[in-house]
Amino acid sequence: MKSAVAHDEALPEFLADIEEDLRLGLLPAQIYNNQRVYELEMRRIFARCWVFIGHETEIPNPGDYAARTIGEDPFILTRDDAGAVHVLFNSCRHRGGRVCQDEMGNASSFVCPLHGWSYRINGKLDGVPAKNEGYRKLDMAQWGLIPAPHVANYHGLVFASLDPQAVPLEEYLGKFRWYLDMQLLLTKGGMEVLGEPHRWVVNANWKSGAENFTGDSSHTPMTHRSILSLKIVNPAVANSPNKKHGLHVHDCDGHAISIRQLEPGQRIFWDYPEEVTRHFGTHHLSQAQVDLASRGLVHDGTVFPNFSFIQLGLSDSEEKAPAGFLSIRVWQPKGPGKMEIWSWILAPREAPEAYKRRAYQVGMSSFSPSGSFEQDDVVLWPMIARTASTVFAEKVGMKYNFQMGLGDMGSVPHLTDFPGPGVAMPTAVGECGPRTFHDSWYAWMKRP
């Protein structure tokens, strides 16, 4: 007999021909604002994939914690007294009350506000009121906070998976680690988070942000043309797509990255100053990775489903020198037509404190709720979701076009001598990254 709360697990009818659509570079508009699609995403993607939770430097001390989310489910990222990191379901085992009420902090225990059950920072049940009178035989060891089935740390990035059968994180990331490592392992000490994450709600589908960071290079000269006018960014970062500065890498174990770069022999390292770049080297990276990073103007990519990064150099004033920084972010689903963006700013641990303050200031001026780049995107992405929800788009079976650079549409062959994994295209003219993202999306969605 089926449960009274069972959900329809079948794909909606309008996705019946999506495999052919994807081959042609097309995508039904409805996937950007459809309740049935969204509910399946929660179960087939967010309940199965590895999802980014936070960075280890956010919880450096025993007792540190941060409230986080997987899909729409609440979790707590904690560090216990032994230094181990945990991801715990933020729900009391007694009646389901939320035991962690604050966003971040330090505590020795969490106490449920309903009946006072208390839990240690590692999730173990620590106290039950009136235990001797009413719960004398309660097995405390069996009633701790429920941990995520899998938690893994990749060079400071903490991911969790709710699927007991999930493959190891490194296998999930696959060969895309080659590109992630360039962002995280420039120095011996790696990267550290500066300040708390900024969060803001946008009336757009979570996939709009995730796909954008895989390589929507053609939107920059249009969407962000005001940034070019203000002269706070190198024109090569946001100018028209071309072969001179562009590089897209797609089909890299389900993930993708877009790169803007200088020509071979030139060196910029995302505008980090010499006081920072003197710490860069081959401590953890190959020479090929260092060479590619040295020419980097912008690296932006997405680990499926909703973890993205962008490393670049910007300024907040025409009079001031640019500063390099790394922004990592999640596109947190809050409904079929709503997401909450979380954004962190990072810099190399070895960077001087004065530079870290400058990098944080520049990062916030560009990628934050009031940031110069951010405001441009979040005004436009809601249009995609609004169109997707219209009756007319549904009646005519409207499809969005992702054909740029596909097959005979493009004129640039892929690189055969590129040192990194995946399929590399020596141009920013194309939508191979977004197509990779949606191929991954459908591969997960069609699994029963």
Q: Cβ distance 264 to 295 under 8 Å?
A: yes
What range defines the domain where residue 78 resides?
A: 51-161
Residue 406 lies in a domain: yes
Q: What angle do CA 411, 31, 173 make, to 5 degrees?
A: 65
DSSP state of 11: P
**237: β partners:** none
Min mean pLDDT across 8-22, 213-227, 230-244, 430-444 is at: 230-244
Same domain? For 317 and 440 the reply is yes
Based on the structure, what is the number of domains in the chain? 2
Residue 72 and residue 99 share a domain: yes
The answer to whether position 1 is within a domain reads: no
Same domain, 223 and 101: no
List C-alpha distances in Å: 60 to 51, 89, 105, 251: 21, 20, 11, 35
Mean pLDDT within 17-26: 95
Tokens of 33: 């604002």
Residues 358 and 266 in one domain: yes
pTM of the model as a whole:
0.94
Residue 254 in domain: yes
Same domain, 209 and 355: yes
Of 19, 159, 117, 3, the closest CA to residue 445 belongs to 19
17 occurs within a structural domain: no
Same-domain pairing of 136 and 214: no
Radius of gyration over every alpha carbon of the chain, rounded to an integer in angstroms: 23
198 and 137 in one domain?
no
Instruction: Record the tokens describing residue 328, joined without a space.
Output: 């990592």
289 and 143 share one domain:
no
- pLDDT > 90? residue 228: no
Cβ atoms of 223 and 380 closer than 8 Å: yes
Vertex 105 angle, CA 308 and 81, to 5°: 100
Do 132 and 211 belong to one domain? no
User: Rounded to whole angstroms, what are the CA distances from 341 to 28, 58, 289, 362?
Assistant: 24, 18, 29, 18
In this structure, the answer to whether residues 154 and 180 fall within a common structural domain is: no
Q: Are residues 214 and 327 in the same domain?
A: yes
CB 248 within 8 A of CB 259: yes
CA-based nearest residue to 193, from 184, 205, 203: 184
Instruction: Kindly tell me if the per-residue pLDDT of 372 is higher than 90.
Output: no
76-96 residue pLDDT tens: 999 999 999 999 999 999 999
Average pLDDT in the 274-280 region?
97
Do 244 and 273 fall within a single domain?
Answer: yes
For residue 143, the domain's CATH number is 2.102.10.10
Phi-psi region of 46 (alpha: psi -120 to 50; beta: other; left: phi over 0): alpha
Task: Note the Cα 134 to chain centre separation in Å.
Answer: 46
Q: Does any domain span residue 40? A: no
Indicate the pLDDT class of residue 43, thresholds 50, 70 and 90. Answer: very high
